[in-house]
Amino acid sequence: MELIEALRSTGAVRAFEATPVPDDVVARLLDSARFAPNGGNRQAWHVVVVKNQATRVALRESYLTGWYEYLAQVQAGLTPWAAVTDLDKERSALQAAPDLARAMEGKPGGFAEHLDEAPVLLVLLADLRRLATVDRDATHYPLAGGASVYPFVWSLLLAARAEDLAGVMTTMALRDEDSVRRLLGAPDELVVAAVVALGRPLHQPTRLTRAPITSFATVDRVDGPAFGAT
Q: Residue 191 forms beta bridges with which residues?
A: 126
Percent of the chain with pLDDT over 70: 100
Q: For residue 204, what pLDDT band results from cuts at 50, 70 and 90?
A: confident
Domain count, the chain: 1
Residue 205, pLDDT score: 79
- Mean residue pLDDT of the chain comes to 95
> Does a structural domain hold residue 224?
no
Give the mean pLDDT of 152-156: 98
Residue 221 counted as domain residue: no
The answer to whether residue 75 is domain-embedded is yes
CA distances from 211 to 39, 214, 225 (A): 29, 8, 17
- As a whole number of angstroms, the distance between CA 168 and CA 151 comes to 13
Structural domain span for residue 65? 3-215
Mean pLDDT of all residues in 56-74: 97
pLDDT value for 185: 98
Report, as an integer, the average pLDDT of 58-67: 96
Alpha helices in the chain (DSSP H): 3-9, 23-33, 53-75, 87-94, 97-104, 150-162, 177-184
CATH number of the domain bearing residue 184:
3.40.109.10
Segment 178-193 mean pLDDT: 97
> How confident is residue 181, by pLDDT bands cut at 50, 70 and 90?
very high
Angle at 71 between CA 69 and CA 75, to 5 degrees: 120
What's the confidence (pLDDT) of residue 207?
81
Q: Answer yes or no: is pLDDT of 1 > 90.
A: no
146 found inside a domain:
yes
String of DSSP letters for 125-192: EEETTS---TTTT-SS---GGGGGTHHHHHHHHHHHHHTT-EEEEE-GGGGGHHHHHHHHT--TTEEE
Whether 228 shows a pLDDT value over 90: the answer reads no
**For the chain, first and last CA: distance in Å?**
31
Q: Is the pLDDT of residue 36 over 80?
A: yes
In the structure, what pLDDT confidence band is assigned to residue 131 with cuts at 50, 70 and 90? Answer: very high
pLDDT reported for residue 25: 98
- In a domain, residue 226? The reply is no
Nearest to 195 by CA among 69, 64, 105, 78: 64
